[in-house]
């Protein structure tokens, strides 16, 4: 399989809009770490790809954690004395602090204030807040809405439930030639927020759909789970299989107009780290590669010292680095079909490298072999350097000793992976290379 | 023990002046590599800290060297024909080349010139000269004094003695919880020169006095010795114990107004090198870190290839890099209480790190533990990065595998040592870490 | 042997002209990868140095290759209908594509054009072309000459032969104290081209003549061979001896006015790489050091993965980086006696280091030894750093533990090799060092 197969039938402009349509479909749903919002979300994804839905009961012990109660919400509002809803959950599910316990009472603004969160620096935006591990309740308002509230009594209602139930996550497993796995993870616990992380959800879903139609070397496992407790739960339930995971990516914040950012795995020099760096280097775009740190998305768990999996995090603008982050401004206008398509294309290129990154042994290591005799000589103007196809053949021959893989050869040669791979394919066809066996 | 204990009762302004007062008390004494000047100096230091005074007889073989004769001097002058002392040792002990043999004779300027040293580029300053291993005599004059001398006969007198005697050094040993030692060395062989090295002597003495009142993990050994032959003698007499030395600093030139300079140990990456670099990095001051070279102070001996001890040299402006170096301008005005106090504070911070630089093992290495449940969660505005206390807890958990110590974690995280240590203390208290055993 | 011996009797101005005279003598000969041109060239070199001439018959298998037919040429021209030679091989042997098969026929310009090569961007220059492994024929013309040709019939003649014969190369072996060898390679297959590579041929020949008169530690082997097939043939015939080669240089493009360029061996950190880098660093000239790549000159073969010999390539402006490269403008005016002499002097310095780069063990590793006592103390103004002779002695003592060699000590100390070597010589004479035995 090569990259052309990967890209086959991929109309980037069309898929960008397709990604955006899925985001738009998922946008209104009020997700949290547990509850029907996640189930509804997984149901929609399941229309695109086969998904195993797992439900883990409240109280289940997962490493140091316990699966929490299930949270559901029907309605919420703040009403003034005239019965007018000044804040209405139906207008934005960000209005309620996620995981708020039920409340229904009258209170004066002075008291209510302690349960209100605003963003004075962006007076039109509603902030996103949650309180998963501290039972409380609250409302998030635009600062403008807050200023309009008067020093009077209000009726406050959050019609939510926090009860024994289940934590839900979805898993799409695509079996490849090998048992070795690539893990792709995204979080599905945020309410109406697009870049963080419906962009990651959408791209993960379409990657799965795309790969499902292909014959892959690695097996691919796509996880759609609530952040932190979701990845912890999955790790706890699948600990025995983790040694199969050879590469992985956490996908988040992939639709904003910013440049690509890659946060390396904790190992720092894993093959996935090299592959992403290579793709970004040859993207002809600005990009940033940052070192691992133990905060951010679920790489925190995958890269905890007990696992130290080779999993990095691909983003555009990272969490906390765009002003719309965790606010109502992270909406459908903030994510662009072109950015989504570009992120998707980079994922294709990354996994194309992972799929094809073979280590070869030069079967004719003493001096160069006769290349012209084998159709591997590109006649050229002798005043200049030979063409890149020629250089690639020479680099692959010179560096194939069973140590460096094709990606490392490409990086050493300063030549894009696919050109190096094409050279290796030709040399293999000519019997000048063999695949390294362990 | 933590840094607050270290700093407890330390009034930096007051100690700066106290350091300067000790320097002023030691300044008039005519020290050399042997003789009563050193003994008198050690006697004064002994009033502040308990000091073992060692006397090693002339002729004793110490490695390739032999303990030299003891030098003492009562008086010296150059008199003109009218009996007027044009140069008088009593005005400055720099006037006599240190270790000059006795001389008493009349000679014309022409002949005398060969025994006179001046600094034409600084006409008011007297240079400092010595001649330890070549028996000779000489006078050091300001160039101005030299120009005033006439082409006539002078009476020259150096009332010194070079005889069988002893080499003297002082040692202050503070026993800690462990047999492992920290060595702190300074040289006490220079006559009236303040930065080089009464500054180092004063800070070493007060560090010893400060640590003597505390409960330390390491044992601390402070050496006050003549340079070169003194450290060689100590090394020769203590060779069997050197394996206990885990860290060390040579202290010199610590009172001038320049920025801090650290010369790394020969190993280059020893824990002391990392600790000093960390302290200087977080000092909010300019600083310089230079590689080891086999010249300078007694690190030359401690870091000779047969020992290669992890000992660096802490200075402000290094030897030879300030114009007052080895001249009468390295006087009481050249060293400042604030510079001395700042150097002292940096030493406290360095040894605070050395004392607390533990390696831990995360007892919950699979995924993060529940931090909120244990009071280790700092609620924060979800629009931004968590507070530094939170990050520190996450870094310590993620990197504590029994390999990296806290200082290395701090450097990797880009967070100051003490904040990382506080996080580790909290995690240890919560049973989430254990100290790594060998 | 030291560098002064190396340079003894070398009048750089005189040798520069001598190198240029040899180039001028070899310039008119029409060389190719086989044939009488190479034999005539080796015959002239043989007047300067003893040369073993090897003739390897056509058809001999050398690794993946087969020794090709021998090519010779008597004459060639393009005549117009009036019988006027518009192109005449006798005016420039570049006019014929090297290795052209014989041809004699009439053809119109339209047909002839497919066998004509020009350089429109340099209309007065004739390009250099060859076609070794694809039997064809062709003419190289200046673009100006080409524009003067009319759309008419021409008589085309190449009076060449391509027949069973021999491949010829020359070898000059200078036996040293040791069996360990230094290999110096240059290519002798280019026709009238000066920088590429009569400059390399000339310098190699005179290096051999110079070393032949000296007593050397290493044995030196100079190879004068056609490129690619020549080095492959030599490697195939000498495979059993390759383990003796400890260092080597390919010499090419050494006479142009550009700065020196060194292309590192494939190993990258071989002693020859360090030595060349040191010489260039201390040359007080601009220079460039580039990484190994598997194209260029015969380092392609020497550094193929089956051999990976420690051989780099010393040049001034590299192949393909000067506009005169592979054109008639790479003529006697393009190479300068001063550039040739400078390249030669750098070679002398490089091999001076290789010859003298010993690893020592400090016999007095505990503290410094008494240097004054042994005449190794340079009294100096104590206001400043000691003189470089003193520093060198201290560096050699401090770093001689049987691990670092003198070149590595020089690089660590930031002191030129010869000064470090002089210090080591003095320490050895004083019994303070011994040579490391394996």
pLDDT by residue (tens digit) across C188-214? 999 999 999 999 999 999 999 999 999
The pLDDT of residue C379 is 80
Q: How far apart are CA B27 and CA B199, in angstroms?
A: 10
Read off the tokens for C377: 């103390």
Q: Give the strand pairing for C153-163 and C103-108.
A: antiparallel
pLDDT by residue (tens digit) across B312-356? 999 999 999 999 999 999 999 999 999 999 999 999 999 999 999
Give the Å distances, CA to CA, from B300 to B346, C367, C374: 23, 7, 19
Q: Chain A partners of B364 at a C-beta cutoff of 8 Å? A: 63-64
* Phi and psi at residue B415, to the nearest 5°: -125, 145
The pLDDT of residue B3 is 52
pLDDT by residue (tens digit) across B271-302? 999 999 999 999 999 999 999 999 999 999 99
Contact A367 C231 (CB under 8 A): yes
Residue with structure tokens 């006490």?
Answer: B188
The pLDDT of residue C224 is 98
Residue with structure tokens 């086989």?
Answer: C34
The H-or-E segment that residue A223 falls in is strand A219-225
Question: In terms of CA atoms, which chain C residue is nearest residue B132?
Answer: C372
Averaged over A259-279, what is the pLDDT?
Answer: 98
Q: How far apart are CA B228 and CA B304, in angstroms?
A: 12
Q: How far apart are CA B388 and CA B375, in angstroms?
A: 15
Q: What is the mean pLDDT of chain C?
A: 96
pLDDT by residue (tens digit) across A23-33? 999 999 999 99
Q: How far apart are CA A233 and CA A61, in angstroms?
A: 9
Contact C305 A373 (CB under 8 A): no
Averaged over C385-414, what is the pLDDT?
Answer: 97
Q: Chain A partners of C304 at a C-beta cutoff of 8 Å? A: 365-368, 397-398
Q: How far apart are CA C65 and CA A214, in angstroms?
A: 42
Identify which of C122, C72, C112 has the alpha carbon closest to the alpha carbon of residue C325. C122
For the cut 80, the answer to whether the pLDDT of residue A381 exceeds it is no
B329-343 burial, b if ≥16 CB within 10 A, otherwise e? bbbeebbbbebbbbb
Residue with structure tokens 């995204």?
Answer: A186
Grouping H, G, I as helix, E, B as strand and the rest as coil, residue A106 is: strand
For the cut 90, the answer to whether the pLDDT of residue C141 exceeds it is yes
Give the Å distances, CA to CA, from C318 to A286, C195, C404: 32, 10, 32
Give the closest-approach CA distance of A306 to chain B in angstroms: 4
Which residues lie closer than 8 Å to B88 by C-beta, 6 or more apart?
B76, B77, B95
For the cut 70, the answer to whether the pLDDT of residue B389 exceeds it is yes
Ramachandran sector of residue B402 (left: φ over 0; alpha: ψ -120 to 50; beta: rest):
left
pLDDT by residue (tens digit) across A316-333? 999 999 999 999 999 999
Give the Å distances, CA to CA, from A184 to A203, A249, B99: 10, 5, 77
By Cβ distance, the residue of C362, C367, C401 closest to B232 is: C367
pLDDT by residue (tens digit) across C75-115? 999 999 999 999 999 999 999 999 999 999 999 999 999 99
Share of chain C above pLDDT 70, in %: 98
Q: Where are the beta strands (DSSP E) in C91-195?
A: 103-108, 116-117, 139-140, 153-163, 166-174, 181-187
The pLDDT of residue C207 is 97
Grouping H, G, I as helix, E, B as strand and the rest as coil, residue C287 is: strand
pTM of the predicted model, to two decimals?
A: 0.95
Q: How far apart are CA C37 and CA C132, in angstroms?
A: 15
Helices (H), ranges, C238-286 = 271-281
Chain B residues touching chain C at CB-CB below 8 Å: 63-65, 119, 127-130, 133-134, 228, 231-232, 235-236, 239, 266, 293-295, 300-301, 303-307, 320, 325-327
The pLDDT of residue B5 is 62
Q: Residue C121 burial by CB count (10 A; 0-12/13-18/19+): exposed, middle or buried?
A: exposed
For the cut 80, the answer to whether the pLDDT of residue C4 exceeds it is no
B393-422 burial, b if ≥16 CB within 10 A, otherwise e? bbbbbbbbeeebbbbbbbbbbebbbbbbbb
Ramachandran sector of residue A268 (left: φ over 0; alpha: ψ -120 to 50; beta: rest):
left
The pLDDT of residue B4 is 61
For the cut 80, the answer to whether the pLDDT of residue C228 exceeds it is yes
Read off the tokens for C15: 């040798």
For the cut 60, the answer to whether the pLDDT of residue B1 exceeds it is no
DSSP assignment letter at B198: I
* Phi and psi at residue B209, to the nearest 5°: -65, -40
Averaged over C239-256, what is the pLDDT?
Answer: 98
Q: Chain B partners of A326 at a C-beta cutoff of 8 Å? A: 382-383
Read off the tokens for C276: 């060349």
DSSP assignment letter at B199: I
Averaged over B73-83, what is the pLDDT?
Answer: 96
Helices (H), ranges, A70-213 = 109-112, 143-148, 200-212
The pLDDT of residue A382 is 72
CB atoms within 10 A of CB B214: 14
Averaged over A386-403, what is the pLDDT?
Answer: 97
The pLDDT of residue A13 is 87
Q: How far apart are CA B148 and CA B141, in angstroms?
A: 11
Contact B398 A130 (CB under 8 A): no
Distance separating the N- and C-terminal Cα atoms of chain C: 22
The pLDDT of residue C1 is 45
The pLDDT of residue A1 is 45
The H-or-E segment that residue A26 falls in is helix A12-26
Q: Before B197, cis peptide (omega within 30)? A: yes
Lowest mean pLDDT among A8-22, A73-87, C49-63: A8-22
Grouping H, G, I as helix, E, B as strand and the rest as coil, residue B330 is: coil
Averaged over C39-46, what is the pLDDT?
Answer: 98
For the cut 90, the answer to whether the pLDDT of residue B48 exceeds it is yes
Identify which of C125, C92, C123 has the alpha carbon closest to the alpha carbon of residue C325. C125
CB B160, CB B100: distance < 8 Å: yes
Helix A417-429 vs helix A388-399: angle between axes, to the nearest 10 degrees? 70
By Cβ distance, the residue of A367, A377, A382 closest to C301 is: A367
Read off the tokens for B432: 């989430």
The pLDDT of residue C380 is 75
For the cut 50, the answer to whether the pLDDT of residue A161 exceeds it is yes
For the cut 70, the answer to whether the pLDDT of residue A6 exceeds it is no
Helices (H), ranges, B27-161 = 36-46, 109-112, 143-148
Q: Give the strand pairing for B311-315 and B245-251.
A: parallel
* Phi and psi at residue B191, to the nearest 5°: -75, -135
Bridge partner residues of C260 (DSSP) = C287
Give the Å distances, CA to CA, from B34 to B68, B161, B187, B205, C213: 8, 11, 12, 20, 57
Q: Chain A partners of B385 at a C-beta cutoff of 8 Å? A: 295, 320
The pLDDT of residue C12 is 85
Q: Chain B partners of A63 at a C-beta cutoff of 8 Å? A: 364, 366-367
Which residues lie closer than 8 Å to C157 by C-beta, 6 or more apart?
C75, C76, C77, C78, C79, C103, C104
- pLDDT band of residue A4 (cuts 50, 70, 90) is low
The pLDDT of residue B11 is 86
Question: In terms of CA atoms, which chain B residue is nearest residue C402?
Answer: B305
Identify which of C143, C117, C144, C148 has the alpha carbon closest to the alpha carbon of residue C131. C117
CB atoms within 10 A of CB B136: 12
Interface predicted TM-score (ipTM) of this complex, two decimals = 0.96
Contact C300 A368 (CB under 8 A): yes
Give the Å distances, CA to CA, from B129 to A314, B138, C384: 66, 9, 12
pLDDT by residue (tens digit) across B11-22? 888 999 999 999
Q: Chain C partners of A394 at a C-beta cutoff of 8 Å? A: 294-295, 300
pLDDT by residue (tens digit) across C263-290? 999 999 999 999 999 999 999 999 999 9
* Phi and psi at residue A186, to the nearest 5°: -145, 160
Helix, strand and coil content of chain B, in percent to the nearest 5, comes to 35, 25, 40
- Chains B, C: CB contacts under 8 A, how many? 80
The pLDDT of residue B382 is 72
DSSP assignment letter at B16: H
Distinct helix (H) and strand (E) counts, chain C: 13, 18
Identify which of A139, A126, A116 has the alpha carbon closest to the alpha carbon of residue A193. A126
The pLDDT of residue C6 is 62
Helix C271-281 vs helix C337-356: angle between axes, to the nearest 10 degrees? 130
A123-139 burial, b if ≥16 CB within 10 A, otherwise e? eebbbbbbebbeeebbb
CB C130, CB C98: distance < 8 Å: yes
By Cβ distance, the residue of A369, A382, A395 closest to C64 is: A369
């Amino acid at each position: 399989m090569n990259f052309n197969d990967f890209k086959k039938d991929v109309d980037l402009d069309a898929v960008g809009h397709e990604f955006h349509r899925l985001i738009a479909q998922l946008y209104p749903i009020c997700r949290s770490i547990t509850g029907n919002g996640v189930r509804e979300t997984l149901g929609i994804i399941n229309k695109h790809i086969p998904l195993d839905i797992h439900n883990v009961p409240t109280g289940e012990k997962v490493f140091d954690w316990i699966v929490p109660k299930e949270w559901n919400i029907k309605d919420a509002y703040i009403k003034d004395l005239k019965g007018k809803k000044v804040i209405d959950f139906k207008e934005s599910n960000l209005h309620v602090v996620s995981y708020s316990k039920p409340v229904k009472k009258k209170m004066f603004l002075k008291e209510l204030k302690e349960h209100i969160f605003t963003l004075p620096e962006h007076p039109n935006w509603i902030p996103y807040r949650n309180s998963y591990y501290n039972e409380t309740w609250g409302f998030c308002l635009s600062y403008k809405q807050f200023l309009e509230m008067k020093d009077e009594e209000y009726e406050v209602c959050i019609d939510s439930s926090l009860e024994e139930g289940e934590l839900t996550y979805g898993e799409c497993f695509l079996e490849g030639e090998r048992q070795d796995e690539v893990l792709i993870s995204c979080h599905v616990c945020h309410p109406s927020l697009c870049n963080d992380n419906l962009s990651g959800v959408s791209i993960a879903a379409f990657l799965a759909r795309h790969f499902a139609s292909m014959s892959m070397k690695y097996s691919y496992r796509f996880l759609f789970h609530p952040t932190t407790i979701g990845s912890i739960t999955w790790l706890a339930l699948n600990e025995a299989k983790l040694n199969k995971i050879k590469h992985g990516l956490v996908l988040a914040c992939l639709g904003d107009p910013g440049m690509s950012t890659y946060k390396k795995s904790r190992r720092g020099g894993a093959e996935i780290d090299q592959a992403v760096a290579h793709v970004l280097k040859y993207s002809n775009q600005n990009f940033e590669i940052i070192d691992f740190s133990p905060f951010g998305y679920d790489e925190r768990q995958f890269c905890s010292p007990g696992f130290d999996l080779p999993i990095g995090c691909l983003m555009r603008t990272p969490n906390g680095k765009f002003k719309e982050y965790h606010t109502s401004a992270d909406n459908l206008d903030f994510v662009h079909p072109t950015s989504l398509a570009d992120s998707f294309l980079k994922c294709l290129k990354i996994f194309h490298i992972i799929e094809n990154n073979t280590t070869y042994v030069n079967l004719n290591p003493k001096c160069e072999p006769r290349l012209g005799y084998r159709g591997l000589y590109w006649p050229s103007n002798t005043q200049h350097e030979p063409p890149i196809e020629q250089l690639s053949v020479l680099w692959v021959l010179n560096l194939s000793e069973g140590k460096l893989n094709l990606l490392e050869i490409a990086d050493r040669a300063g030549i894009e992976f696919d050109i190096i791979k094409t050279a290796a394919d030709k040399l293999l066809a000519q019997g000048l290379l063999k695949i390294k066996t362990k």
